[in-house]
Amino acid sequence: MKEEEIRPRDVFDEYLRLAALDADLYFAHTVRQNFLCPACGEQGAHSFDKHGFSYQECPACHTLFVSPRPPAEAFYRYYQESDSARFFATTFYKETAEPRREKLWRPKAQLINQMLRKHGADRHTLLDIGGGYGIFAEEYQRLYGNKVTIIEPGPELAHACRQKGLTVIEDFLEKVQPEQLPIGPRAFVSFELFEHLHDPRVFLKHLSALMQSGDMFLFTTLSGTGIDIQLLWEESKSISLQHLNFLNPESVCPLIEGMGLQVVDVRTPGKLDMDILYNNRARIKDRFWRSLLARSTEQQRAEWQDFIVGQNLSSHMSVVCKCP
């Protein structure tokens, strides 16, 4: 899989341009508060500034995170009202829907089902937190027949999902009440959401209160120790105003388990790290990697990608949790 196939450069760059403008509109004049490491609670050390945000790295667990941080209400407004959020919900999703369905969401539906089957939970009702355009829900229901309920706060995206006949709870997970959820065994999933959370501990505390014994939580997020983020650092397009938390395979476990959930699997099954690095090789400061990428063949980059995944060094991280 190539980055261009699921994230066309011109469309994605326009989204980033709008996001940079929205950073000033929604966050420039907010009162910000110091934020400790979202994984272990340690004080971070300043690493760099980008789009008006200060990024710190935790000296204890190497989590990268934004601090000081605007209030949660500013982010709620941003996701529900901003031009960049609207562009992502309409233009970006519509123009990339079918390639992402084939390359991303159908394989992800199959992988989630395999994981749930491994833990005897493949007949659970699914709840897709931040379900976006609803393509994962469509594919999962089509392939396996399980009902999928989407939890989505964005009005345009929630409307698009309803038009597809999907069941939608139009709200942030932190505001969802138990009586709104389907009865019976459940599996909560979220994809590329964790990096957006204003406070992962608040999110997990509320989620664990909604879960019953035997319920599952499976999610994917960005790992800050992933090779493309480490090499590109502040030049990484993954580091943008909505991405506040970059945990990693080591730091995510104590965070999850501290909220009363059991971590049963953590891995980094990424496919795009080497392609991202190759596409951005001119921005890499490390001479070894800049030279290696310039001289590499497609086959060599594929072999490097396999090695990165095997060593848990991809920036794409998946985590499987269970409510004991």
- Is pLDDT above 80 for 241? no
| 132: confidence class by pLDDT, cuts 50, 70, 90 | confident
DSSP letter string, 153-184: --HHHHHHHHHTT-EEE-S-GGG--GGGSPSS
Range list of β-strands (E), 130-261: 148-151, 167-169, 186-191, 216-222, 245-246
Task: Tell me the pLDDT band of 103, cut-offs 50, 70 and 90.
Answer: confident
Burial grade of 104 (CB within 10 A; 0-12, 13-18, 19 or more) = buried
Pairwise CA distance, residues 223 & 217, whole Å? 18
**Section 139-144 average pLDDT:** 96
- With beta carbons less than 8 A apart as the criterion, state whether 263 and 257 touch: yes
- The two tokens of residue 150 are 């989407």
Q: Hunting for tokens 């038009």 — which residue is that?
A: 163
Task: Kindly list the strands in the beta sheet with 45-50, ordered across the sheet, starting from the edge strand earlier in the chain.
Answer: 45-50, 53-57, 64-66, 245-246
pLDDT of residue 266 exceeding 90, the answer is yes
The pLDDT confidence band at residue 255, using thresholds 50, 70 and 90, is very high
How many Å apart are CA 182 and CA 208, to the nearest integer? Answer: 16
Indicate if the pLDDT at residue 89 is higher than 90. no
Across the chain, mean pLDDT equals 93
Reported as a single tens digit per residue, the pLDDT across 145-177 is 999 999 999 888 899 899 999 999 999 999 999
pLDDT single digits (tens) 305-320: 999 999 999 999 999 9
pLDDT of amino acid 95: 77
Please state the rounded mean pLDDT for residues 130-148.
93
High-pLDDT (> 90) share of the chain, %: 81
Mean pLDDT of 124-147: 94
Please state, in angstroms and rounded to a whole number, the distance separating the CA atoms of residues 234 and 242. Answer: 14
Check whether 97 has a pLDDT greater than 80. no
Residue 226 in tokens: 């992933």
Domain at 3-267+315-322, CATH from 3.40.1170.60, 3.40.50.150, 3.40.50.300, 3.40.50.2300: 3.40.50.150
Please state, in angstroms and rounded to a whole number, the distance separating the CA atoms of residues 32 and 105: 36
At 33 the three-state DSSP class reads strand
